[in-house]
Amino acid sequence: MIKVLTIEDDEITAREIIAELSAHGITVDWAANGHEGLQKASGTRYDAITLDRMLPGLDGLAVVKALREAGVDTPVLMISALSDVDERIRGLRAGGDDYMTKPFAPDEMAARIEVLMRRRGSTPTVLDLKVMDLELDLMSRTARRGSQELSLLPTEFRLLEFLMRNNGQVLTRMMIFETVWGYHFDPGTNLIDVHIGRLRRKIDLPGLTPLIHTVRGQGYTLSASTALAEKH
């Protein structure tokens, strides 16, 4: 059973997080302050932690620093109303694995938690990814669809790898920027759209089942689902 710890002093926000994660079949423990959260995170093995940046007594930065110094490697999603780039960088450098600003969409928060857990569970022995007839060889850095070898630029390869590792899951623009480009902010460009377009032209050739889909208002996904294709 997947178990997540939510460290959040605002009860309304905490209940929103608990409700969303519970809907995904995840068991959630709640700590209402930094001291309680640190105690629970240090004494219980969790699959992930959501951590509010601004906590009374012991703030989020102090909590995540203490956890990392104690050798606790549980993935941490930091959540804060502080949205400037410097604050994001401070949170990540302190030991956070991801950073999300308030207000946030609960389903995006759940998706980020799932991605963090998937990253933690991935192993170096996974050298090949396959979705239908699309294959990615992570060792040789080659890709093919059916018998057709695909010529991908390095960034296109990273983007396709991220999509395939999260097959069937909608990935937001922010998640893609952070994972593929290492940006922890949206630069406000069409960078993602351009690269998605290039991948589509190489992968979704005429006569083949479309695999890359735009889910309006949410992001992108790679899936053979015809239902998703209708949202393209």
42 burial level (CB within 10 Å; 0-12, 13-18, 19+): middle
Domains annotated on the chain, with CATH: 3-121 (3.40.50.2300), 128-229 (1.10.10.10)
Residues 198-214: what's their mean pLDDT? 93
pLDDT at res. 31:
95
| Count of residues making up the chain | 232
Residue 144 CA to residue 152 CA, distance in Å, equals: 10
Most confident of 16-25, 36-45, 90-99, 179-188: 36-45
The SS3 call for residue 47 is coil
Residue 225: name the closest of 122, 216, 213 by CA.
213
For residue 190, is pLDDT > 60?
yes
Model confidence over 59-92: pLDDT tens digits?
999 999 999 999 999 999 999 887 777 787 888 8
pLDDT score recorded for residue 122 = 40
Mean pLDDT across 101-109 = 84
DSSP notation for 117-148: HHHHH--TT--EEEETTEEEETTTTEEEETTE
Per-residue pLDDT, 116: 86
What pLDDT does 29 receive?
94
pLDDT at 232 over 50: no
Each residue's pLDDT tens digit, 10-41? 999 999 898 888 877 788 999 999 999 999 99
Tens-digit pLDDT profile for residues 111-165: 888 888 877 764 333 467 889 999 988 767 899 999 999 999 988 998 998 899 8
| Bridge partner residues of 99 (DSSP) | 78
**185 vs 178: CA distance, rounded Å:** 8
Task: Return phi, psi of residue 35, to 5°.
Answer: -65, -45
pTM of the model: 0.53
Q: Is 146 left (phi over 0), alpha (psi -120 to 50) or beta?
A: left
